[in-house]
Structure 1
Amino acid sequence: MPRRLRPVPLDFAGSAPLRLVFTAESAAPPKAVYAALADDVAGWADWFTGVTRVAPTPDGRGREVRLTGGGRFHETIIAAEPAARYAYRVDSTNAPALRALLEDWRLTPAGDGTRVRWTFAVDGPALFRWLMPLARPALAHVFRRSLRSLDRRLADG
């Protein structure tokens, strides 16, 4: 049964009790990376490791996400700045221990490509906040691997 999470504002990306921030370079320009994040919603399952399905919500203001292993998230998009920023918060999930979750993608030009910064801002019980940093290496690996996969996808057209 999905649980409602605390609705958080965009500034939660900078004020969350726990923030995991990852950066990497993409060979694609910011406009192409942004289009993959914001416009090609269903395409996430083809390049983001662990994502099996993403669909826009009927009102178009959010996404429904399924992960390998059965995780489900209902999200609301809270920032959509073409070629610069894409952020969403999780409104409900079947994942245990989460109280609030917001993901913020920032894109900045880097030569011919894009510097991508992904902030994973989260809140949960004290034990969760203590254990979550242990997942940092795995999330970093997923992020880098996914960005390489996105680069291949965008290069293939």
Structure 2
Amino acid sequence: MPRRLNAVKLDFVESAPLRLVFTADVAATPSEVYRALAEDVEGWPGWFRSVAWAKPTREGAGRDVALRGGVRFQETIMASDPAVRYAYRIDETNLPGVRAMLEEWRLTPSGSGTRVRWTMAVDGPGPLRVGIRLAKPGVGHSFRDAVRRLERRLASEQAG
């Protein structure tokens, strides 16, 4: 059953009790990466294997996302700065123990294209935070795989 989470503000990405931060470089422009993140929400399963499906809601102000394995999120877009940042707060989830959660994707031009920084900010009881810390290597692997797959997808779109 979905549970409503605390409605945190955008600054939670810096102040959360637990923050997982991952970075990777993509041979694509920040604008191209931003379009894949923010404008092609339904395309996420094509490059982020953890995502079973995703769809925009409330005329683009929110998203519904399902992960493989059955975890669901209802989200509110908190920041949508073209070619710079895309962030969303999780408002409801069936993931037990989470009190608040916000994710931010930062895009910075780099010599090879774009540096992508993904921050997952979470609040919950101690056992949940320990579990997420233990899952960090797997989450990092999933992120790096997703960025590589996104890079290939964007390159094939340019070639086609």
**Shorter-chain-normalised TM-score: which range?**
over 0.9
The aligned counterpart of 2:125 is 125
TM-score (norm 2): 0.96
Distance in 2 separating the partners of 1:130 and 1:67 = 21
Q: Secondary structure of the residue that 2:144 maps to in structure 1?
A: helix
Runs of 4+ in 1 over 6 A off after TM superposition: none
The aligned counterpart of 1:108 is 108
Deviation at 1:126, TM superposition (A): 1.3
User: How many percent of aligned residue pairs carry the same amino acid?
Assistant: 61
Name the amino acid aligned to 1:135: A
Please tell me whether residue 81 in structure 1 is matched to residue 81 in structure 2: yes
The aligned counterpart of 1:143 is 143
What pairs up with 1:10-29 in 2 under 5 angstroms?
10-29=10-29
Distance in 1 separating the partners of 2:82 and 2:102 = 19
Deviation at 1:112, TM superposition (A): 4.1
Does the CA contact (< 8 Å) of 2:26 and 2:112 recur in 1? Answer: no
Q: Secondary structure of the residue that 1:59 maps to in structure 2?
A: helix
**Structure 2 spans left out of the alignment, 5+ residues:** none
1:95-147 CA distance string (max 9 Å, x none):
11111110000000001410000000001111111221111100110000000
Figure out how many residues of one structure are paired with residues of the other and give that number: 157
The aligned counterpart of 1:58 is 58
**Structure 1 spans left out of the alignment, 5+ residues:** none
Deviation at 1:50, TM superposition (A): 1.0
TM-score (norm 1): 0.98
Does the CA contact (< 8 Å) of 2:66 and 2:72 recur in 1? Answer: yes
Distance in 2 separating the partners of 1:97 and 1:69 = 17
The aligned counterpart of 1:35 is 35
The aligned counterpart of 1:5 is 5
Name the amino acid aligned to 1:36: A
Deviation at 1:59, TM superposition (A): 3.2
Distance in 1 separating the partners of 2:90 and 2:131 = 20
Does the CA contact (< 8 Å) of 1:29 and 1:112 recur in 2? Answer: no
Does the CA contact (< 8 Å) of 1:102 and 1:120 recur in 2? Answer: yes
Name the amino acid aligned to 1:95: L
Does the CA contact (< 8 Å) of 2:20 and 2:121 recur in 1? Answer: yes
Distance in 1 separating the partners of 2:129 and 2:53 = 27
The aligned counterpart of 1:44 is 44
Q: Output the aligned Cα RMSD.
A: 0.8
Does the CA contact (< 8 Å) of 2:25 and 2:112 recur in 1? Answer: no
Q: Secondary structure of the residue that 2:6 maps to in structure 1?
A: coil
The aligned counterpart of 1:93 is 93
